[in-house]
Structure 1
Amino acid sequence: MVKNVILDFGNVLVDWNPHYLYDDVFGSKRKADWFLNNICTAEWNAKMDAGASFRREVVLLQRKYPQWASEIELYDTGWWRMMRGTIPGMYSLVSELKETGHAIYGLSNWNDKKFRTYVQSSYPVFGLLDGMVISGEEKVNKPDERIYNILLERFNLKAEESLFVDDNPDNLVTAERLGFKTILFVSADALRRELVSYL
């Protein structure tokens, strides 16, 4: 029986995408794609998710690619422009889960400074959670199993009583190996339908 629902944040609870910033900056999705695949890459962002200083990583990347210095700077100073609100339907769904007695937790790869400063206080959905584990504070990212175990130990949870929802299949693989039930997030409506099998 599922007692706990564990939710990822980015693109599960809140809409985050670097393209929201860089499509505007470059005036072209194709150019933004190139920049995000070659300069401000997902691998580079993962360093900040694991707790590296945004300021330090930006400066180091600017030294490596001085011709892109101003665009790299925006990854820090314009970071808020990558956000587009709560994922439709998720606030009401999380509220309903709470009302039916389920404990709700967050497990997310996010830079702790950006999350605590800009995100957490801006979106009421985070106020519904019973607890959360943020990669930047733990210095380890999903899908490393250590961060899942931190969640279980910190909140005294059992994996077999917990359902983990994430939009990244790689993160679900680790969760399943540890005994979690899992759902790949596509939309709030799809999640609502799939939850019937577990709750």
Structure 2
Amino acid sequence: MASSAITTIVFDLGGVLIDWNPRYLYRKLMADEQQMETFLSTITTPDWNEEQDAGRTLAEATAQLVGQYPEHRELIEHFYGRWPEMLGGAIQGTVDILTELRNSGRYRLYALTNWSEETFPVALEQFEFLHWFEAIVVSGTEKSRKPFPGFYHTLLTRYQLEPGQAVFIDDNERNILAAKAIGFQTVHFQSPEQLRAELEALQVVA
């Protein structure tokens, strides 16, 4: 498809532009790798974390888990108490692509992210490129998240975007499928190199 049909690029953040992983913290706290994996998969689960992305407060979330697993109180409290240590840095290859898109001046640039309203300011302070977007729609602020269609429509209606003229980039296939159903062109992110190749095929980057 020619780039003339594409006016807008929408980025996911975590896993696409920012390397976030709770293991960066919990490897400091737990010597046994298997115990760490069990803790992250059965106690501080992705589903539990997504509720914070959808607007539940960090205090509520922590209290809930501590109530369920009092023997793990300290480890649970560190999840948000030491949350910045889960940020591994920028995914530089993707930032380079974002830089090219920004410098070209040809596209409107947005981000649509599942992220807690309370922790997102930490990322905003740490990563200068987050200030390059025309807007970032944060799930914790909107009290909704991907893959729910309403969250995508918040972006579309608020900024008067046409999904068929937008490329949506996300590392989560579930979110990609939801975006496709709404009418976005999509790239299922796997690496900066793969992203560049797919954007080249769309004639978005040279």
Q: TM-score, normalised by structure 1?
A: 0.97
Question: Is 2:135 the counterpart of 1:131?
Answer: yes
Question: Is 2:115 the counterpart of 1:107?
Answer: no
Flag structure 2 segments of 5+ consecutive residues without an equivalent.
Answer: none
Aligned to 1:88: 92
Distance of 1:157 and 1:141 partners within structure 2: 18
Which one-letter code corresponds to 1:91 in the other structure? V
Q: For 1:48-78, what per-residue CA distance to the aligned partner results, in whole angstroms no more than 9, with x for missing partners?
A: 0001110121012111110000000001111
Aligned to 2:55: 51
1:86 offset after TM fit, Å? Answer: 0.5
Distance of 2:33 and 2:196 partners within structure 1: 32
Distance of 1:122 and 1:154 partners within structure 2: 26
The residue correspondences of 1:53-92 to structure 2 (distance < 5 A) are 53-92=57-96
- SS of residue in 1 equivalent to 2:179: helix
Distance of 1:91 and 1:37 partners within structure 2: 30
* Identity fraction in percent: 32
Which one-letter code corresponds to 1:195 in the other structure? L
Q: For 1:79-104, what per-residue CA distance to the aligned partner results, in whole angstroms no more than 9, with x for missing partners?
A: 01110110022222111111221111
Which one-letter code corresponds to 2:107 in the other structure? H
Aligned to 2:170: 166
Distance of 1:22 and 1:111 partners within structure 2: 19
Contact 1:19 1:29 in 2 (8 A): no
Q: In terms of mean alpha carbon deviation, does 136-145 or 16-25 score higher?
A: 16-25
What do you get for the CA RMSD once the two structures are aligned? 0.9
Aligned to 1:189: 193
Residue from 4, 12, 15 that aligns with 1:11 = 15
- Runs of 4+ in structure 1 off by over 2 angstroms are none
Question: Is 2:164 the counterpart of 1:149?
Answer: no
Which one-letter code corresponds to 1:86 in the other structure? A
Contact 1:13 1:125 in 2 (8 A): no
Flag structure 1 segments of 5+ consecutive residues without an equivalent.
Answer: none
Q: TM-score, normalised by structure 2?
A: 0.93
Aligned to 1:120: 124
